[in-house]
Amino acid sequence: MTLYLDHAAASPLRPEAREAFQRASDMGGNASSIHAAGRKAKVMLEDARSDVLSAVGGIGAGLVFTSGGTEANALALWQATGFDYVVVSAGEHDSVYGAVTDAVVAPLTKAGQVDVAALQDLLARDGRPFVAVMLANNETGVINDIASVAEVVHARGGWLHVDSVQALGKMVVDFQALGADSLAISAHKIGGGQGVGALVYDRDRVLKPRTIGGGQELGLRAGTENVPGIAGFAAAIKACQPVCEDVSRAQVQVEAALQVLGVVIVGGDAPRVPGVLCLAQPQWASNLQLIHMDMAGICVSSGSACSSGKVKTSRVVTAMGRPDLADKVLRVSAGWTTQAEDWQRFYDVWSKGYEVYLKRHAKEMA
């Protein structure tokens, strides 16, 4: 039986999201139409907007629905044209790096968090900065102190964008408390459908559209809204619950057992979201670990899923000062379908594979 432990890539569709998607699909109608069906679609769209904003502490903020976290990040970075320079953390998702050129990179600490003191030094230059720092890292699960980052950025008259795609559903995401100017989220990480996301933004900021051609989303994102997908997103975010204590306890126990085998828990010295484990075994390459786990019916990954199916060296682990481990990492990520016993099954399969690998390696070296 397949065991799915790659929720950080995409979480299976929740039944609540499936039902909401089906209901909206059956209703039909374009939210921009003025007839009865269109008005019903518009009501569903705006109800979803309110539900998502409420779930992320964004009452009073603006929200633009997008095709996912990547587009939400791109729309946020589009606002950087009005600032003097851009700073991104070394741990940012590829969608942030790909949305801007000539950005200054703020380093990470060895624990995997953005170095706030170093960031403050980078912002000492003249001009207004646009800064991007994620809430929870997509590879390690490490949580950044966004409130402290916001204080530093705003002291320089800057804009702070926060990629919260991996944080959503795993920890409290409170737009107002974070002090961010914009925040990206995505449906498919929490059991909503793929192809739906949103950018939450401070209404005191003037948001410039990136996709033009129509008046949808208050003129900020042209194109017919995906009402069924958006309805599913709202249903999924309302269905999110804190991680069960027994599941979290099982993860902690497995991490302790792995460390006995010489495994490095990447980011283990920093606060992390529950359900995300980035491990590195210095003797066992990522691609070999993945092959073993896949053959045993366990779905995990070697890092970010947004790399066209490739297994590549981790830029994040390298930025943490461990280039020697960058091609040895494995990411295990739990979600709403995960049970406590799933963590134990993962450990049993992984440790058995490692034992076999060591024996084969010893024979080759003999």
Give the per-residue pLDDT at 308: 42
Same domain, 195 and 259: no
Same domain, 253 and 206: no
Q: From the candidates 244, 278, 299, 306, give the one annotated as an active-site residue.
A: 306
Same domain, 222 and 253: no
- Listing DSSP states for 152-192 in one string gives HHHHTT-EEEEE-TTTBTTB---HHHHT-SEEEEESTTTTS
Same domain, 214 and 87: yes
Contacts with 327 (C-beta within 8 Å, 6 or more apart), sequence order = 285, 286, 313, 314
Domain span at 179: 15-239
Q: Supply the CATH number for residue 144's domain.
A: 3.40.640.10
Give the per-residue pLDDT at 306: 53
Distances in whole angstroms, Cα of residue 198 to Cα of each of 3, 44, 59, 108, 152 = 29, 16, 15, 27, 25
Same domain, 233 and 247: no
Same domain, 184 and 310: no
Same domain, 293 and 211: no
In angstroms, the CA 314 to CA 327 distance is 6
- Last residue of one domain, picked from the residues 192, 218, 239: 239
- Listing DSSP states for 30-74 in one string gives -TT--SHHHHHHHHHHHHHHHHHHHHTT-TTSEEEEESSHHHHHH
- Listing DSSP states for 134-146 in one string gives -SB-TTT-BBP-H
0.85 exceeded by pTM: yes
- Last residue of one domain, picked from the residues 207, 239, 271: 239
The kind and range of the H/E element at 275 are none
Report how many domains make up the chain: 2
Tokens linked to 243: 């991680």
pLDDT in tens, the chain (366 residues): 899 999 999 999 999 999 999 999 999 999 999 999 999 999 999 999 999 999 999 999 999 999 999 999 999 999 999 899 999 999 999 999 989 989 999 999 999 999 999 999 999 999 999 999 999 999 999 999 999 999 999 999 999 999 999 999 999 999 999 999 999 999 999 999 999 999 999 999 999 999 999 899 989 999 999 999 999 999 999 999 999 999 999 999 999 999 999 999 999 999 999 999 999 999 999 999 999 999 999 999 987 655 545 567 899 999 999 999 999 999 999 999 999 999 999 999 999 999 999 988 777 665
Q: Supply the CATH number for residue 337's domain.
A: 3.90.1150.10
Same domain, 142 and 279: no
Give the per-residue pLDDT at 361: 76
Give the per-residue pLDDT at 312: 74
244 annotated active-site: no
